[in-house]
Amino acid sequence: MTDTAHYNPHGESLLDYQRGDTTAIITIHSAGGLTADVPVGIFFRAADEFPLEQQALALCRGRVLDIGAGAGGHALALQARGLEVVAIDFLPECVEVMRARGVREAHVADIHTYETAPFDTLLSLMNGLAMVHDLAGLRPFLASLRRLLKPGGQFLVDSTDLRRTGRPQSAAMVEAAVRAGRYFGEADLQLEYKGRRGVPFTQLYVDAETLAEHARAAGWACEIVVQEAAGRYLARLT
């Protein structure tokens, strides 16, 4: 069973929002003692509010696996287009929220061990490589995903170059990782909700050039479809 202790505050906050607490806030603690308060409503936004996600959804085709689907907004948008979508998340609270919102096929599952019939499109957004903890795990993760893809299929994923965001929190995370002799995108985080903190964890943010390099080594071609000024980008791996 997947250990969810680090992400439990996220699941709890989504469930509270779905049940009517639209003022819910989750706090992200990071390097240097910095914090960021994030309105939980951002996870329930419509896809057309964010151009990068809108473009990712437009590229989806065939049978789609939405990885780390959270509150299910992307799956719902794809369902509305008539696509067959399977949404997975390792947090039971997320799956409960997705089902309540109308996602027809939502399952509690860990992408690292998930096995099913292959898909035409794999989709992972909102730092879609969050399930990879460090750069050393990126290449094996990308190689393992190929088991879930049909010939000619695609993996659509976003990430961010933390050096380019212009945010003090990102700069502190980069500095802490480099000081520890690690890749600059290995961010140490801790989530807090209603005074309860999850277990500290490390989450990978990878710059586009490094993703392309590791993707090629894992047998993928990598195209950067969208590059935003603040470092976030959308990649299409085939």
Q: ∠ at Cα 220 (216, 222), nearest 5°?
A: 80
Where residue 71 sits, what CATH number does that domain have?
3.40.50.150
In a domain, 5, yes or no: no
pLDDT score, position 202: 95
Closest CA to 71 of 46, 47, 107, 95: 95
In a domain, 35, yes or no: no
In a domain, 106, yes or no: yes
Helices 92-101 and 8-18 pack at an angle, to 10 degrees, of 20
Closest CA to 55 of 193, 185, 228, 238: 228
- Tens of pLDDT along 12-26? 999 999 999 999 999
Q: Which residues contact 19 (CB under 8 A, 6 or more apart)?
A: none
pLDDT score, position 1: 43
pLDDT score, position 50: 85
In the chain, which stretches have pLDDT less than 50? 1
CB 212 within 8 A of CB 72: no
What is the domain range of residue 153? 47-185+203-237
In a domain, 198, yes or no: no
In a domain, 23, yes or no: no
In a domain, 25, yes or no: no
- Tens of pLDDT along 176-207? 999 999 999 999 999 999 999 999 999 999 99
CB 184 within 8 A of CB 163: yes
Number of folded domains that form the chain: 1
Question: From CA 47, how far away is CA 78, in angstroms rounded?
Answer: 10
pLDDT score, position 48: 78
In a domain, 9, yes or no: no
pLDDT score, position 176: 95
pLDDT score, position 32: 86
In a domain, 152, yes or no: yes
